[in-house]
Amino acid sequence: MSSHVLDASVAVAAVRPGEPSHRAARARLASLLAGVDAIVVPVIFDIEVTSALVRGRAPISAVHTFLDRDLAARELITIGPRAARAISGVAARTRLRAADATYVWVASSYGLPLVTIDRGIAHKVGTLCKV
């Protein structure tokens, strides 16, 4: 079993049929949900997924079910003061948004590939992590 850092963009696209990357996101998420790969996410993952889905009119109960049942095996990485400083450094070097820099920091710190549908991240991370 291999581990991957899962960007919230993949989880959101996987449950929103109208997203341009819906099919690709569902296919990628399927192997993660099947237990073929382990999912590692920063603690902000749940916040981002919840925010995006409820803004898209998903019922909060469905969002909780998705996170608590479908993504229950995800490993949450917490962010303390040292990590926050390191993430700030990633943001400064890459010019990524704070949340995106957080996913890149987790991938870089744990030596894991980052699974994302955000092409901007892939173009900005350089050698910090594999995307």
Is position 41 within any domain?
A: yes
Q: Residue 32 pLDDT > 80, yes or no?
A: no
Residue 121 and residue 115 in contact, taking contact as beta carbons nearer than 8 Å:
no
* Domain span holding position 24: 2-124
Is position 129 within any domain?
A: no
The per-residue pLDDT for range 56-110, each reduced to its tens digit, is 999 999 999 999 998 999 999 999 999 999 999 999 999 999 999 999 999 999 9
Is position 130 within any domain?
A: no
Number of domains in the chain: 1
Higher pLDDT: 45 or 126? It is 45
What is the distance between the alpha carbons of residues 23 and 96, in angstroms, rounded to a whole number? 26
The pTM score is 0.93
Give the relative orientation of helices 8-15 and 45-55 as an angle to the nearest 10 degrees.
30
Q: Which pLDDT value is given to residue 1? A: 80
> Which residue carries 């079910």 as its tokens?
65
